[in-house]
């Protein structure tokens, strides 16, 4: 991007002065908020609208976490009540990822067609249907269909929530706000673990509908993404939504001008295809996005997330105590990650997080190895639960949320649909492989399974150190100017 034009003021005249000749509207907020331009710059503080919009979006993240965490506390109840075999329950646990994979393939297209806000509402319809189908199922096929529908809903949410948050927040707050996505995923998973130890699996599924309905209702009062409004040519709505998000007295002229310039440059290009994503100028973004998602899944997070209860039982530790310990630890660690995101940066948190999951997986594998040799038999269950708790805590610190943050940052707006869809699909395909194969891997070699997860964690540290850029404190347009310099000139 030609930064001299921005800094020299050649295109920095505010849209507010241009009037409202474009498509009239409010982008989801009161259009009267677009009148004040005299106070502090737009990227210096958050407003109540920004905070509330992020909270509404993150209701979808809570649904995501609840869906992932559901299969662990519900496992024994579903198997006993419906008479499922281990193989059938493995299908139930993993088919969530199939639905999410299908959604991931088309998530970018849907988000670009409907808008970020409508896509979140669309996804929650599938989520509600899924939860209800599970709650009232009388056999395996109804369970599968409900889990598939729920997976489709959270597959859309896994893409659109971090993208929406990244597009509405100013540069100095984007990392922390986007990481709230992972914080709420952890909250959803933790609450499901906790509640699931006290109530039946059917009641737990009904409770899962509550955040879905809450988000559906709240979206009517939430502004649309200004960058999406700009992408579809609704400039007056873009201006009004941005003013609403930054505050009525904020000066948004520089931010609007930068969005306008970058959007117009991209719109001059031909409509991209999936093959365009593999051009040399996008290769860095593609390698970073896909690489982080592949390594995140190979690290084994969803094996522990989906089957924590079974892991504790096989290690000889009470499953209820173990799942409660995970629930208690991962939320504070995720909160710490949110607080550190825009202080330490993305790369250090990623490396510390991956190193922690590597050591935790090694500890779990070592506990199974010692158990097999009948060595330290009283200590090995404690080693397993400590490893699992440390794994979830260290994963929540960075590896859980930062890959999604970076997915929302590293692709230019014209390639975000294709790039984000591919990255999301890769993530969910990896989730399905791990979720379905985990029980069979454990039958093959419990210690070998977790040693492989440890190797993946070590490779992640090397990958981040060598390939992943730091995006802290930079606008989305500035990130593209350095990652994809060919399209930014």
Note the residue count of the chain.
489
Asked whether the predicted pLDDT for residue 75 surpasses 60, the reply is: yes
Residue range 23-56, pLDDT digits in tens: 444 455 543 333 333 333 444 456 899 999 999 9
Q: How far apart are CA 290 and CA 62, in angstroms?
A: 24
Beta bridge partners of 251: 41
Q: How far apart are CA 149 and CA 122, in angstroms?
A: 12
Give every CB contact of residue 51 below 8 A, 6+ residues apart in sequence: none
Q: How far apart are CA 223 and CA 209, in angstroms?
A: 23
H-assigned helices in 115-246: 116-135, 140-168, 174-196, 201-207, 209-218, 226-231, 235-246
Count CB-CB contacts under 10 A for residue 222: 24
**pLDDT band for position 241 (cuts 50, 70, 90):** very high
Most confidently modeled of 34-43, 348-357, 413-422?
348-357
Asked whether the predicted pLDDT for residue 454 surpasses 90, the reply is: yes
Q: How far apart are CA 291 and CA 46, in angstroms?
A: 32
pLDDT greater at residue 266 or residue 111:
111
Residue range 259-271, pLDDT digits in tens: 888 788 777 766 7
Residue range 189-200, pLDDT digits in tens: 889 988 988 899
Beta bridge partners of 337: none
Give the DSSP H or E segment for 433. Answer: helix 416-444
Give the DSSP H or E segment for 97. Answer: helix 86-114
**pLDDT band for position 85 (cuts 50, 70, 90):** confident
**pLDDT band for position 22 (cuts 50, 70, 90):** very low
Residue range 286-314, pLDDT digits in tens: 999 999 999 999 998 878 776 777 777 77
Question: Is residue 41 classed as helix, strand or coil in its secondary structure?
Answer: strand
Please check whether residue 131 is in contact with residue 212, taking contact to mean a CB–CB distance below 8 angstroms. yes
Please check whether residue 420 is in contact with residue 107, taking contact to mean a CB–CB distance below 8 angstroms. yes
Residue 9 backbone class (left: φ over 0; alpha: ψ -120 to 50; beta: rest): left
Q: What is the DSSP track for 464-487?
A: HHHTPPP-TT--HHHHHHHHSTTT
What's residue 209's pLDDT?
Answer: 96
pTM: 0.71
**pLDDT band for position 14 (cuts 50, 70, 90):** very low
Distances (CA, A) of 289 to 120, 277, 354, 409: 22, 12, 16, 10
Asked whether the predicted pLDDT for residue 163 surpasses 60, the reply is: yes
**Per-residue pLDDT averaged across 108-135, rounded?**
94
**Per-residue pLDDT averaged across 248-254, rounded?**
85
Q: How far apart are CA 249 and CA 356, in angstroms?
A: 44
What's residue 340's pLDDT?
Answer: 81
What's residue 314's pLDDT?
Answer: 76
Range in 127-131, 221-225, 254-258 with the lowest mean pLDDT? 254-258
């Amino acid at each position: 991007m030609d930064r001299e034009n921005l800094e020299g003021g050649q295109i920095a005249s505010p849209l507010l002065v241009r009037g409202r000749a474009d498509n009239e509207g409010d982008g989801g907020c009161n259009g009267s908020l677009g009148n004040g331009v005299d106070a502090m710059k737009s990227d210096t503080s958050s407003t109540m609208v920004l905070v509330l919009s992020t909270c509404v979006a993150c209701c979808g993240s809570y649904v995501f976490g609840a869906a992932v965490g559901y299969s662990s506390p519900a496992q024994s109840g579903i198997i006993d009540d419906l008479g499922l075999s281990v193989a059938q329950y493995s299908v139930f646990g993993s088919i969530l990822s199939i639905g999410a994979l299908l959604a991931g393939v088309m998530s970018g297209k849907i988000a670009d067609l409907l808008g970020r806000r409508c896509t979140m509402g669309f996804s929650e319809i599938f989520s509600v249907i899924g939860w209800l189908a599970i709650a009232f199922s009388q056999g395996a096929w109804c369970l599968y269909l409900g889990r598939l529908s729920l997976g489709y809903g959270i597959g859309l949410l896994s893409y659109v929530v971090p993208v929406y948050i990244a597009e509405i927040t100013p540069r100095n707050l984007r990392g922390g706000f986007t990481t709230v996505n992972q914080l709420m995923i952890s909250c959803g998973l933790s609450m499901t673990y906790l509640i699931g130890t006290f109530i039946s699996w059917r009641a737990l599924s009904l409770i899962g509908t509550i955040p879905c309905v809450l988000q559906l209702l709240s979206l009517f009062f939430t502004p649309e993404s200004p960058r999406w409004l700009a992408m579809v040519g609704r400039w007056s709505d873009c201006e009004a939504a941005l003013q609403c998000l930054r505050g009525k007295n904020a000066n948004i002229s520089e931010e609007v001008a930068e969005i306008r310039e970058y959007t117009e440059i991209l719109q001059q290009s031909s409509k991209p295809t999936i093959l365009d994503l593999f051009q040399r100028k996008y290769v860095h973004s593609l390698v970073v996005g896909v690489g982080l998602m592949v390594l995140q899944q190979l690290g084994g997070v969803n094996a522990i997330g989906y089957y924590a209860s079974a892991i504790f039982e096989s290690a000889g530790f009470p499953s209820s105590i173990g799942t409660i310990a995970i629930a208690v630890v991962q939320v504070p660690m995720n909160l710490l990650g949110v607080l550190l995101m825009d202080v330490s940066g993305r790369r250090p948190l990623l490396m510390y997080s991956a190193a922690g999951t590597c050591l935790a997986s090694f500890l779990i594998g070592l506990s199974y190895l010692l158990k097999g040799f009948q060595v330290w038999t009283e200590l090995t269950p404690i080693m397993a639960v400590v490893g699992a708790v440390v794994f979830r805590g260290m994963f929540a610190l960075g590896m859980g949320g930062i890959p999604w943050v970076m997915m929302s940052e590293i692709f230019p707006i014209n390639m975000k649909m294709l790039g984000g869809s591919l990255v999301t699909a890769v993530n969910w395909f990896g989730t399905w492989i791990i979720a379905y194969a985990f029980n069979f891997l454990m039958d093959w070699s419990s210690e070998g399974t977790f040693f492989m997860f440890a190797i993946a964690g070590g490779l992640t540290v090397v990958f981040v150190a060598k390939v992943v850029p730091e995006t802290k404190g930079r606008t989305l347009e500035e990130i593209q100017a350095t990652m994809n310099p060919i399209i930014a000139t």
